[in-house]
Structures are given as structure tokens and as C-alpha cells.
Amino acid sequence: MRVLSGIQPTGRPHWGNYFGAIKQYIDLQSADEAYYFVANLHALNTVRDKDQLSQFSWDAALDLLALGLDPNQANLFIQSDVPEVSELCWLLLAGTPMGLLERCVSYKDKIAKGLPVVAGLFAYPVLQAADILAYDANIVPVGEDQKQHIEVCRDIAKAFNHQYGEVFVIPEAKILDSSAKVPGTDGDKMSKSYDNFIEIFEPPNKMKKKVMRISTDSREMHESKDPETDHLFQLFSLFGSESDVQAMADLYRTGGFGYGDIKKQLAAAAQAFFEPAFARREELAAKPDEVKQILGDGAAAARKKAGEVLLRAQKACGLK
């Protein structure tokens, strides 16, 4: 079984990114083969400053390694270091109907939000298909919002195979656990778009200030509260031990506490949870050559596999 996943380097990851996606990606790295990449080609659609894109890409690699991606189990690389994917993308574009891309919800949503209408945004699902098909990936872990793009990838691969023979493995989407929804500081889903996020690698003092500003209701301290409907409790549940979470739930139902105390406990639990990742990231940042070696080795393995698939596709459609 081959697993593939990519993360766009458009800013530092927050708690929602970790529990909603990154943690689940990393849990799958023990597959027979696993490919994880920093999707800097995709990020070009929104990040147009070269220094910023370079820094974001480097930070994303450090973050993934610090959070538990093991280069002994998975191949980690930068997307643009595998040019075979871009060439494969053109082979796929040549046979992809415009109507298929025009129906993509994410494209229509971004246009509705006023984002620049660029060809890269329109063709995003085709490059994503090339990312997947280049490694004969069987499993692609994605959020519910990306499910349609995997269906597009499957449609493109099936059409190519129908035209030229059995060239591509047809991938399956693994929809990430939607119960991992992480509330932001305002109670809505944590998102950079809503500016309600808390970054994983924020300095502890800055993180604590954000936690202390989390919105709460106006019930009196003595009142009993339902922990299951409280977003502050939901956040604590992500970080606390089973016994601590149970004790917190009992406290909510009993009443007689202030939200400020809960926030302090949340900040302490989050800091303790990510402390090993903080330490690992500092260690990696101090060894840039080691990280470059990891990315280089990952790219070499990715190019080898992508080269085999590209050659197969080229021969099938008469380019070799």
C-alpha cells in the first residue's frame, strides 16, 4: 500500500491543522511506502513573494519533521524537486475536459471570495492528480473539502487508462476523521481565514495570551455547564490526559469554577503536549544540512518512482 499526502506552505500550522490533518497523515506513515511533500507549486497560486515562499517551504519541512514525520519510514520532499510531476501534469491536462474542472467546488468557492482568477487555480486539481498518480498511490488522506478533487483524479486516470491502456493505479480517498474539528478562539472552526487560530510553534507567552482571549459564555461561576457543548472544554480534551479530561468534565457539571482557571489549564496542557515538538524543531533548525539531506533523499526516491510512472505514460501516448 502506498500513501501520499501534500501540505501547502502558506503559513505556519495551527492546532486545527495538526489534529484535523497532520497527526492523521503521520499516523499513516508506516504503510509499505509513504510519500509526503511540501506543495510549493500549488502555493504559487497564492504566495507570490519568492523569499516568503522559500521560507514557508523550509518551515513546513521542519514542522512536519518536528511533529513526528520519520524519514526512516516516509519520503519527505519539496514538490518542485520532482519535475516529473509537472511533465505528467501536462499529459493529463491534454485530455482533461474543461467542464470537469469548472464543476470543482473549491474553484468556484475561491472565485466567489474574490481571489485572483489565474489558470493555476483552475488547473489545481490536475496538478493534484499528477501528484497522486506519479507514485501509484493507493491511499490519499484528505479532508472532506478535498474529496471532490480525488474524484476528479480518479476520473482523469480512468479516462487516460481507457484511451491508452492500464497506465495508472486508481487511488482511493481516505477521508480524515471529521470529529477532529478544532474550535478557534471564537468558537467557530479554527481557520486562518477567520483569524481565530493558535499556531503550534508560537512562543508560550504569546500562545497563552491567545488562550486567555478565547470567547466564553456569560453564565455565573456557580452554574452547572454541559462540557460537550463548550468549545473551551473541547480544546482541553485534545491535550489533557484521560483522567484530566474526566475531572474537567465533572467540574463543568458541578459548577463553581471560573473560565479563567480553565484557560490556564488549557494553556499549560497545550504547552506540555507540544513541548517535545518544540525541542525537536530547535534541534532540526540547528542542523540545516541534515534537513537538506532528508529532503534530498526523499526527492531522489520520489523522482525514481515518478520517473517510472512518467515513462509508462509517455510510452502509452506515443511520446517515447
Query: Which residues have CB under 8 Å from 54's CB, separation 6+?
Result: none
Task: Report the pLDDT value the prediction gives residue 13, as an integer from 0 to 100.
Answer: 95
Distance from C-alpha of 277 to C-alpha of 297, rounded to nearest angstrom: 22
104 vs 54, 78, 148, 316, CA distance in Å? 29, 26, 7, 28
Examine the domain organization and report whether 226 and 305 are in the same domain: no
C-alpha closest to that of 74 among 86, 87, 64: 64
Examine the domain organization and report whether 66 and 145 are in the same domain: yes
Query: pLDDT tens digit string along 163-219?
Result: 999 999 999 999 987 666 799 999 999 998 889 999 999 999 999 999 999 999 888
Q: Does residue 199 lie within any of the structural domains?
A: no
Task: Report the pLDDT value the prediction gives residue 179, as an integer from 0 to 100.
Answer: 63
CB 54 within 8 A of CB 62: no
Examine the domain organization and report whether 76 and 171 are in the same domain: yes
**First-residue to last-residue Cα distance in the chain:** 29
151 vs 22, 133, 212, 279, CA distance in Å? 22, 13, 42, 39
Which CATH number characterizes residue 162's domain? 3.40.50.620
Task: Report the pLDDT value the prediction gives residue 106, as an integer from 0 to 100.
Answer: 80
Beta-strand runs (E) in 155-295: 172-175
Query: Which residues have CB under 8 Å from 74's CB, separation 6+?
Result: 29, 34, 35, 36, 298
Examine the domain organization and report whether 122 and 176 are in the same domain: yes
Q: Does residue 192 lie within any of the structural domains?
A: no
Examine the domain organization and report whether 173 and 251 are in the same domain: no
- Point out the residues that are catalytic: 110, 189, 192
Examine the domain organization and report whether 88 and 225 are in the same domain: no
Query: Which residues have CB under 8 Å from 158's CB, separation 6+?
Result: 170
Task: Report the pLDDT value the prediction gives residue 176, as an integer from 0 to 100.
Answer: 87
Per-residue pLDDT in tens (0 to 9) along the chain, 320 residues: 899 999 999 999 999 999 999 999 899 998 889 999 999 999 998 899 999 999 999 999 999 999 999 999 999 999 999 999 999 999 999 999 999 999 998 888 878 878 777 899 999 999 999 999 999 999 999 888 789 999 999 999 999 999 999 999 999 999 987 666 799 999 999 998 889 999 999 999 999 999 999 999 888 878 898 999 999 999 999 999 999 999 999 999 999 889 999 999 999 999 999 999 999 999 999 999 999 999 999 999 999 999 999 999 999 999 99
Task: Report the pLDDT value the prediction gives residue 111, as an integer from 0 to 100.
Answer: 82
Task: Report the pLDDT value the prediction gives residue 116, as an integer from 0 to 100.
Answer: 75
Distance from C-alpha of 117 to C-alpha of 59, rounded to nearest angstrom: 28
Examine the domain organization and report whether 59 and 161 are in the same domain: yes
Domain with 215 in it: 204-281
Task: Report the pLDDT value the prediction gives residue 108, as an integer from 0 to 100.
Answer: 84
Name the residue type at position 287.
K
What is the grid cell recorded at 25?
497523515
CB count within 10 Å of CB 129 equals 27
DSSP labels, 261-292: HHHHHHHHHHHHHHHHHHHHHHHHHT-HHHHH
Total domains, the chain = 2
Instruction: Classify burial at 278, counting beta carbons within 10 Å of its beta carbon; exposed 0-12, middle 13-18, buried 19 or more.
Output: middle
Distance from C-alpha of 320 to C-alpha of 318, rounded to nearest angstrom: 6
Examine the domain organization and report whether 272 and 294 are in the same domain: no
Query: pLDDT tens digit string along 246-260?
Result: 999 999 999 988 999
Distance from C-alpha of 73 to C-alpha of 71, rounded to nearest angstrom: 5
Q: Does residue 312 lie within any of the structural domains?
A: yes
Examine the domain organization and report whether 156 and 234 are in the same domain: no
Q: Does residue 87 lie within any of the structural domains?
A: yes
Which CATH number characterizes residue 262's domain? 1.10.240.10
